[in-house]
């Protein structure tokens, strides 16, 4: 046994004082009585000359000595050392992802993790000298947050742990482990304690150097179903209707038989029955009319272990015409494909483009270098701007198409198996663009965002290829119109996953949104009703807010303009809340769950409780004797 406050043992000097009181003779008070027959023994004591008497064995004496001894031990703060508590620094990581809100632990998995972490704090050595330990608290939510820097102050550590909350975001343990690794790299005796359910964790690419990690697994089961996806599109058959695409995943042990509800602006629109087999995902489509801008929400009204993934929302704005400027010498294939891309498309053919021309939602350049480059989104065929690529482009003859990225929205349902190209410009892919179609010599199609401008670049002339004769060409044009349409860009910007930053571009450094006067601050209303003021600098190009840790609708107000953002979980891996058997960590292999060992546990509380028990026993003994 060791003592954190050994000076408390100095109070042991009081023990002889109690014994001394019992050695002193009792002072008698003179009283007149009719007979002394019954008082002979006490009279004999009064006749003694010595002020002290022989010490007699009395139960009250031993109880009082025991009480004082227990109180002295409590003041000395004794503790018992163990093998698990020899590290000078302990980094404690709390997984605050959405799956930690599961209720299979009481009250939740995150609450259980907090309780276990507090036990680790109780075992922290806080004395002086080389035996003293420090602890740092990290919370791994949407981002890795240091809740408490390294300290030996147990009260501060408890406050940091108890004030942490689980978020609605996906699991991001890699960032927290990298922070922990940087803190423990030069401390060979350090420890990292991760409290997590291990659900949805992928650390196979995590690189480390002998990370001293202990994984404390939280959670019991996976009885959960949730909404995995949500998308709102204009119905191709009726532009006044919206097609709401959603899907439900079932990670429980029984088939899911329930209903799925669709609401618009909190008004129930339709309810459909849904059945999802175990381990499967079932899609569902709703058709609903929309007469105004609003919010579509789908919900799964059922009780399971994780309520956080039973609802999702999407902001739906009324469609407006898409004005396209086609700068071309004449290309009927391209003109017809653009006109057929959407019922809302309006195409205007131009021989050249100047800044004084009407503003277009997007501009298509067909083998024509304009006098002035458009400031909006651009689809360019066989045209190169000086600031797009490094160096001057060259020409490659007969490039063969060897690969294309069919996972990109621009190439959805698009194939190039039978497309032949006679000639193409050869460029080096810049940092702002992603190659979508490749040849051995050069990328043939690039897409990306340069500044605030979305660009799709096709290196060859359409009329020098067989592409316009293939079915994939009008599909690509329809995809490009949707991807380049500013309304689609705004809709994508308003649909976020928990943890993503809200971004709202400003018109220019001196103007606000949509040309409104520049203001020095914006106001954001979070789903929980909290109001946040976002200051803006004089030259700010956009408003950025990153604390989207809870789901719901965020409303950003700048002057008279209000923009809404829908934040959702929508993560099938996060809905799979089955606790992991271990953490797969690349070269290290799998880190298995570890049991929490309570080392250096202070025991003064037990001595204090024992002393209280002795006080009660003494009270009972005294009253029993005098009754």
User: What digits encode the pLDDT tens for the residues 158-185?
Assistant: 999 999 999 999 988 888 988 998 888 8
pLDDT at 79 over 90: no
Residue 24: DSSP 8-state: B
Contact 543, 558 (CB under 8 A): yes
Q: How far is CA 433 from CA 95, 366, 455, in A?
A: 35, 20, 8
- Tell me if residue 586 falls in helix, strand or coil: helix
How much is the average pLDDT of 407-432? Answer: 94
How large a percentage of the chain has pLDDT more than 70?
Answer: 84
The mean per-residue pLDDT over the stretch 148-155 comes to 92
- pLDDT at residue 130 in the model: 54
**Is there a contact between 521 and 533 (Cβ–Cβ < 8 Å)?**
yes
How much is the pLDDT for 86?
A: 56
pLDDT of residue 589 exceeding 90, the answer is no
* Confidence check: pLDDT of 325 > 90: yes
Structure tokens at 519: 């203001």
The Cα-based distances of 229 to 63, 98, 410 in angstroms read 70, 16, 20
- Residue 347 is predicted with a pLDDT of 95
Query: Given pLDDT bands bounded at 50, 70 and 90, which one contains residue 46?
Result: low
Helices 472-484/332-339 angle, 10° precision = 60
What would the pLDDT profile of 290-309 be if each residue is shown by its tens digit?
989 999 999 999 999 999 99
Q: What angle do CA 417, 421, 426 make, to 5 degrees?
A: 115
d(C-alpha 523, C-alpha 285), whole Å: 35
Distances (CA, A) of 602 to 112, 118, 120, 153, 387: 22, 13, 12, 15, 67
Q: Region 355-366: what's the mean pLDDT?
A: 89
| Strand partners of residue 454 | 449
Query: Cis link prior to 107 (omega < 30° from 0)?
Result: yes
The rounded Cα 221 to chain-centroid distance in angstroms is: 21
CA distance between the termini of the chain:
42
pLDDT at 508 over 70: no
Phi-psi region of 49 (alpha: psi -120 to 50; beta: other; left: phi over 0): alpha
- Please state the pTM of the whole predicted model: 0.74
Summary count for the chain: helices (H), strands (E): 11, 34
Strands 531-535, 561-568: parallel, antiparallel or unpaired by DSSP?
unpaired
Measured CA to CA, the distance from residue 49 to residue 110 in angstroms comes to 73
Structure tokens given for 36 = 């002394």
Given this model, what pLDDT does residue 64 score? 74
Q: What is the pLDDT of residue 57?
A: 65
Higher pLDDT, 511 or 479: 479
pLDDT at residue 425, as a whole number:
95
With b meaning 16 or more CB within 10 Å and e meaning fewer, what string describes 61-95?
eebbbbbbbbbbbbbbbbbeeeebbebbbbbbbbb
Would you put residue 279 in left (φ > 0), alpha (ψ -120 to 50) or beta?
left
| pLDDT at residue 627 is higher than 60 | no
Asked whether residue 474 carries a pLDDT value surpassing 90, the answer given is yes
What confidence score (pLDDT) does residue 514 get? 47
How far, in Å, CA of 525 to CA of 509, rounded?
Answer: 24
Choice between 375 and 94, residue whose per-residue pLDDT is larger: 94
Residues in contact with 214: Cβ distance below 8 Å, sequence separation at least 6, in sequence order: 191, 192, 193, 194, 594
Q: What pLDDT is attached to residue 585?
A: 73
**407 close to 423: Cβ distance less than 8 angstroms:** no
Of residues 62 and 360, more confidently modeled: 360
CB atoms within 10 A of CB 407: 8
Whole-angstrom distance, CA of residue 449 vs CA of residue 445: 14
| Per-residue pLDDT, 63 | 73
pLDDT, tens digit (0-9, with 9 covering 90-100), for 203-251: 776 665 578 888 899 999 889 999 999 999 888 778 778 999 999 999 9
Do β-strands 561-568 and 495-497 pair in parallel, antiparallel, or remain unpaired? parallel
Across the range 455-476, mean pLDDT stands at 96
Closest C-alpha among 393, 360, 367, 403 to residue 382:
367
**SS3 readout for 502-538:** EEEECCECCECHHHCECCCEEEEECCCCCEEEEECCC
Which span out of 18-27, 77-86, 236-245, 427-436 was modeled with the highest average pLDDT?
A: 427-436
DSSP secondary structure letter of residue 237: S
Strands 521-525 and 531-535: antiparallel
| Farthest CA pair distance, the chain | 141
Distance (Å, whole) CA 79 – CA 605 = 10
As a whole number, mean pLDDT of residues 55-62 equals: 68
Least confident interval from 272-276, 534-538, 600-604 = 600-604
């Amino acid at each position: 046994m060791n003592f954190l406050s050994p000076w408390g043992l100095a109070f042991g000097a009081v023990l002889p004082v109690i014994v001394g009181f019992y050695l002193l003779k009792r002072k008698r008070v003179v009283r007149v009585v009719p007979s002394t027959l019954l008082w002979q023994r006490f009279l004999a004591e009064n006749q003694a000359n010595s002020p002290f008497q022989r010490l007699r064995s009395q139960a009250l004496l031993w109880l009082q000595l025991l009480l004082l001894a227990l109180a002295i031990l409590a003041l000395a703060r004794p503790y018992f050392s163990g093998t698990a508590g020899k590290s000078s620094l302990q980094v404690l990581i709390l997984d605050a992802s959405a799956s930690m809100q599961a209720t299979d632990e009481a009250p939740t998995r995150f609450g259980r993790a907090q309780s276990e972490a507090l036990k680790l704090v109780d075992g922290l050595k806080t004395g002086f000298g080389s035996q003293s330990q420090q602890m740092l608290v990290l919370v791994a939510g949407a981002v890795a947050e240091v809740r408490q820097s390294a300290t030996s102050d147990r009260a501060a550590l408890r406050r940091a742990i108890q004030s942490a909350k689980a978020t609605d975001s996906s699991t991001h343990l890699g960032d927290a482990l990298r922070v922990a690794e940087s803190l423990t790299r030069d401390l060979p005796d350090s420890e990292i304690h991760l409290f997590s359910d291990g659900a949805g964790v992928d650390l196979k690419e995590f690189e480390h150097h002998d990370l001293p990690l202990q994984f404390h697994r939280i959670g019991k089961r996976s009885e959960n179903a949730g909404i995995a996806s949500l998308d709102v599109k204009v119905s191709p058959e009726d532009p006044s209707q919206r097609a709401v695409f959603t899907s439900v995943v079932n990670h429980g042990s029984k088939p899911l038989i329930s209903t799925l509800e669709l609401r618009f602006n909190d008004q129930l629109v339709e309810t459909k029955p849904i059945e999802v087999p175990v381990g499967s995902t079932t899609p569902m489509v709703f058709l609903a009319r929309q007469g105004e801008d609003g919010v579509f929400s789908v919900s799964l009204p059922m009780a399971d272990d994780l309520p956080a993934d039973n609802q999702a929302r999407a902001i739906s704005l009324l469609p407006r015409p898409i004005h396209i400027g086609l700068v071309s010498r004449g290309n009927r294939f391209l003109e017809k494909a653009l006109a057929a891309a959407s019922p809302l498309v309006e195409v205007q053919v131009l021989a050249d483009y100047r800044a004084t021309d009407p503003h277009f939602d997007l501009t298509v350049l067909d083998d024509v270098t304009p006098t002035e480059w458009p400031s909006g989104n651009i689809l360019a065929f066989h045209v190169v701007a000086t600031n797009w690529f490094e160096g001057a482009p060259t020409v490659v003859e007969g490039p063969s198409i060897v690969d294309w990225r069919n996972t990109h929205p621009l190439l959805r349902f698009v194939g190039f198996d039978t497309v032949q190209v006679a000639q193409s410009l050869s460029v080096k892919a810049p940092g702002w663009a992603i190659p979508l179609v490749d040849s051995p010599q050069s990328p043939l199609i690039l897409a990306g965002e340069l500044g605030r401008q979305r660009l799709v670049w096709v290196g060859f002339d359409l009329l020098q290829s067989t592409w316009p004769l293939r079915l994939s060409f009008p599909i690509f044009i329809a995809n490009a119109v949707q991807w380049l349409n500013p309304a689609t860009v705004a809709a994508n910007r308003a649909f976020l996953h928990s943890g993503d930053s809200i971004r709202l571009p400003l018109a220019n450094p001196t103007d606000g949104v949509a040309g409104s006067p520049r203001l020095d601050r914006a106001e954001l209303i979070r789903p929980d009703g909290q109001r946040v003021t976002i200051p803006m600098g004089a030259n700010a190009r956009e408003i950025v807010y990153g604390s989207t840790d809870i789901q719901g609708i965020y409303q950003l107000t700048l002057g008279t303009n209000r923009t809404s953002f829908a934040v959702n979980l929508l993560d099938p891996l996060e809905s799979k809340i089955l606790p992991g058997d271990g953490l797969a960590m690349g070269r290290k292999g799998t880190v298995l769950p570890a049991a929490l060992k309570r080392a250096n546990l202070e025991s003064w509380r037990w001595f204090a409780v024992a002393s209280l028990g002795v006080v009660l026993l003494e009270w009972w003994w005294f009253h029993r004797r005098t009754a």
